[in-house]
Chains A and B, each alone.
Chain A
Amino acid sequence: MDVPVLHTPSPSSSTSGGISGDELSDSSSSLPSSFISAQNYITIKEGCQSVFTIEELSEAVNRCKELVLDSEECSEERKWLVRRLIELRHRLQQAKDAEVDKDNSDTSETQVLLGHHFKLEYNPTSTKKRYCDRCCGMIWNVIQSWYRCADCQYKCHVKCLEQTSRVCAHLIASENPHYEPNICPEVGLADQSYRCYECCTHITFKNSLVEARLCDYTGRYYCPSCHWNTQAVIPARVVKNWDFELRPVSRASYQLLRHTRSRPIITLNPHLYNLVGELASIKNMREELSRMKHYIATCRFALESGVLMKELEWRHHLVHDTEVFSLNDLIEINAGVLVDKLKSVHSLLMKHIKEDCKVCQGRGYICEHCDDKAIIFPFDMSMYTCPKCNYVQHRVCWIRKQLCPKCCRKEKKEKEAVS
């Protein structure tokens, strides 16, 4: 095919690369292989956006829409068609933008393949060694350019691009936003029919070139070209055993783990807080920080300086939600780095609210139970915040009196209003 064609397979003709219904149901058992068989729906082979006119793209969008409507509801096929529709629309938008703004047209081509967004790279001066994720051969950066996925960092030779069979880690992570919960859920080579879990290469014991390598994350066996003995921290081992030892994982798992490292998707077993000392103090600090945030976010001076908000934005999930962690957080907790960083943010905010800022101090509370005139704040662990009216009082005072003065006043007023 000399003329690039937007290839939208029709489900009825299996000869054109489309997928028949049988194939789909067969492949539903394992996620990656079903992705692979469906690749035609998400592969835009011709890459360079400028090749297509807006008319061609709009037509492709319409055709794709029709296909989506024809496909079975909630089917794998429809899912891939919808993805393709999104890609095509994105292209269309890009083409339209380029039309409007011709001087500034971005000529960098992006190849879309199995959810990857490949960008061509060329850097002859780099001394870093790169290997092709497809053929495992060296990428000679002095003379060769290579494709790199902007999402998952998958790298391959230009010639190997077409043979790519691994689905982008970004796509897998967005399909299933949780880590494998079990430690190395091994099923055995026999259950894998003595084939590599990813590329289905036959694995024998006679030849070390196709030896079986176990991925500690998925618990499956891979051939050496899909498993380079790359080492990674395994989330399930961390969550269950607080074990941060590096273990060999397959390339696909490695890319997935690297891609999701900073995503806050881990919720820890509450018992772990008692067993790991640092976790308890981190939990306290996170709770205090999330309450301090209310002060900082509404303080004119803090917003003007911008520094404090920036501190809070640094790994904002730590402050937004006090329960979730990213894998990176846990690794840093284990290394003792995170506690120090949190402490410094904590003390910075504390200083602003309690010492530097008049507005924040004005928004504090004074305990109504006792004669202490000191300003108190809800983020202090020694204070009690009434769950009904948010009124803050010393915890000791509250324990002694067992009632909230503001709630009492409110009730009294309501009674008066009724009578």
Chain B
Amino acid sequence: MNQYVNKKFSNQYKATIGADFLTKEVVVDDRIVTMQIWDTAGQERFQSLGVAFYRGADCCVLVFDVSAPNTFKSLDSWRDEFLIQASPRDPENFPFVVLGNKLDLDTRAVSSKRAQQWCQSNNNIPYYETSAKEAINVEQAFQTIAKNALAQESDTSLYNDFPDQIKLTGDQKPAGGDQCAC
């Protein structure tokens, strides 16, 4: 998230406490939209703070660490928890994006194929392999996130009168107790 919005990456790992967000203006299909990207704490000890911001989200990004298989395994529970908390109108077709982060590390433990398979079996979720540190694929991933979120929004925007004032919320979730400093 930091890499995407501020073009910065800090090697120092700072755990997200509770939740925080950054905003970024992006151009999607010739329209300027403001993206509000929330980053939620993955660690259990910070979960005494709530996740009310799930409600009203337009897209959910699940991030796991390609060098830590347990973070990949917990994607399921993160997705389920999100759907319950966010309670979107159409849970079946809610846009998710999966990111396999930390591509820069040599200790890869989750194969690209395995991740792809999981995404396909879950309603064809787009999958990107990224490195927040080296800024690999970050831009592309967020473009897709914005597009998918907007697509979701434009369905509903038929019913409201503010097509230019769309607020966009993506959810950045370091999966399963692991960090992600994107």
Contact = CB atoms under 8 A, between A and B. Distances in A.
Given A373-B55, A390-B47, A298 B85 contact: no
Given A358-B21, A363-B53, A373-B55, A368 B48 contact: no
Interface string B49-83: 11111010000000000000000000001001100
A409 B85 CA distance: 12
A236 to B, nearest CB: 39
A409 B78 CA distance: 12
Interface string A344-379: 000000000000001101111110100001010110
Contacts of B49: 294-295, 298, 363
B110 interface: no
B19 interface: yes
Contacts of B20: 300, 359
5 contacts: A358-B21, A362-B38, A365-B51, A366-B85, A405-B84
A392 B55 contact: no
Contact of B18 (A363, A368, A373, A413): A363
Interface string B95-135: 00000000000000000000000000000000000000000
Given A295-B18, A378-B48, 13 more contacts: A361-B52, A362-B19, A362-B38, A362-B51, A363-B49, A364-B50, A365-B51, A365-B52, A366-B50, A366-B52, A377-B50, A378-B50, A389-B47
Contacts of B47: 389-390
B52 A375 contact: yes
Contacts of A368: 84-85
Contact of A363 (B19, B77, B81, B84): B19
Chain B residues touching A, range: 10 to 19
Interface of A: 294-295, 298, 300, 358-359, 361-366, 368, 373, 375, 377-378, 389-390, 392, 405, 409, 413
Interchain residue pairs A-B with the least CB separation, the first 5: A362-B53, A365-B50, A364-B52, A298-B17, A363-B49
B1 to A, nearest CB: 13
A269 to B, nearest CB: 31
B21 A363 contact: no
A294 B21 CA distance: 18
Q: Is the interface of A mostly helix, strand, loop or mixed?
A: mixed
A389 to B, nearest CB: 8
Contacts of A366: 50, 52, 55, 85
Contacts of A364: 50, 52
Contacts of A358: 21
A413 B19 CA distance: 24
Contacts of B53: 361-363
B21 A362 contact: yes
Contact of A362 (B52, B80, B84): B52
A407 to B, nearest CB: 13
A367 to B, nearest CB: 10
Interface string B40-51: 000000011111
Contacts of A373: 55
Contacts of B38: 362
B175 to A, nearest CB: 15
> Among the interface residues B51, B53, B85, which one has the most CB atoms of the partner chain A within 10 A?
B53
A93 to B, nearest CB: 33
A361 to B, nearest CB: 7
B55 A363 contact: no
Contact of B21 (A359, A375, A377): A359
Contact of A298 (B18, B77, B81): B18
A294 B48 contact: yes
A390 B48 contact: yes
B70 to A, nearest CB: 12
Nearest to A385: B48
Contact of B77 (A392, A405, A413): A413
Contacts of B48: 294, 378, 390
Nearest to A365: B50
B74 to A, nearest CB: 10
A358 to B, nearest CB: 7
A107 B139 CA distance: 62
Nearest to B46: A298
Nearest to B53: A362
B56 to A, nearest CB: 9
A405 to B, nearest CB: 8
A409 B84 contact: yes
Contacts of B84: 368, 405, 409
Contacts of B18: 295, 298, 359, 363
